[in-house]
Amino acid sequence: MSGTGYGRPVPLRWDQPFWDAAGESRLVGQRCRDCDRVQLYPKPACARCGASAFEWIELSGSGTVWSHAYVRQAVDEAMRDQVPFMLLDVELDEGPHLLSRLLGDAHDLAIGERVMVRFVEIAGSDRPLPFFARV
């Protein structure tokens, strides 16, 4: 059952622009045209005002490690040949957080370290994913 499909994003209409930008190695956030709230992950409506008209703004891609987890054993078969890897919660400089993974094996990573987005395609991902690298 390696075909779980969980290693692969399946864009929906409202988050297609996020993945289109990722395909061009650009990290974007969803900004509400009515109230200017910037939200990530992308949602079908603005969590503040409920409107569904968005523009997509370029984010710097730089952020700080809020926390991390060094995965040695994966239950999901699709991930088994990828361990070990370092999962991240990155606080972007613009505010929102992204869950991601560290590029490269770095067991000594610390909370508070600065990281920068790097788009990479991995086996089964079908498209570039926003990973992060130490700076």
Site for other proteins in 55-84 (CB under 8 A): 66-76, 78-79, 82
* Contact window for other proteins (CB under 8 A) among 7-15, 28-36, 56-64: 7-15
Beta bridge partners of 90: 65, 98
**What is the per-residue binding string for other proteins in 115-134, x denoting contact by CB under 8 A?**
----------x---x-x---
CA gap 89, 2 in Å, rounded: 26
Q: Among 49, 57, 111, 133, which residue interacts with other proteins (rule: CB under 8 A)?
A: 111
Q: Site for other proteins (CB under 8 A): which residue of 35, 49, 57, 99?
A: 99
Q: How many chain residues are in contact with other proteins, going by CB under 8 A? A: 42
Taking a C-beta distance cutoff of 8 angstroms, is the pair 27, 59 a contact?
A: yes
For other proteins, which residue of 25, 33, 35, 41 counts as binding (CB under 8 A)? 41
β partners of residue 114: 64
87 lines the binding site for other proteins (CB under 8 A): yes
DSSP structure class, residue 44? S
Cα–Cα distance measured from residue 48 to residue 32, given in angstroms and rounded to the nearest whole number: 9
One-character DSSP codes across 58-121: E---EEEEEEEEEE---SSGGGTTT-SEEEEEEEETTS-EEEEEBSS--TT--TT-EEEEEEE-
Binding site for other proteins (CB under 8 A): 1, 4, 6-12, 15, 41, 47-48, 66-76, 78-79, 82, 85, 87-89, 95, 97-101, 107, 111, 125, 129, 131
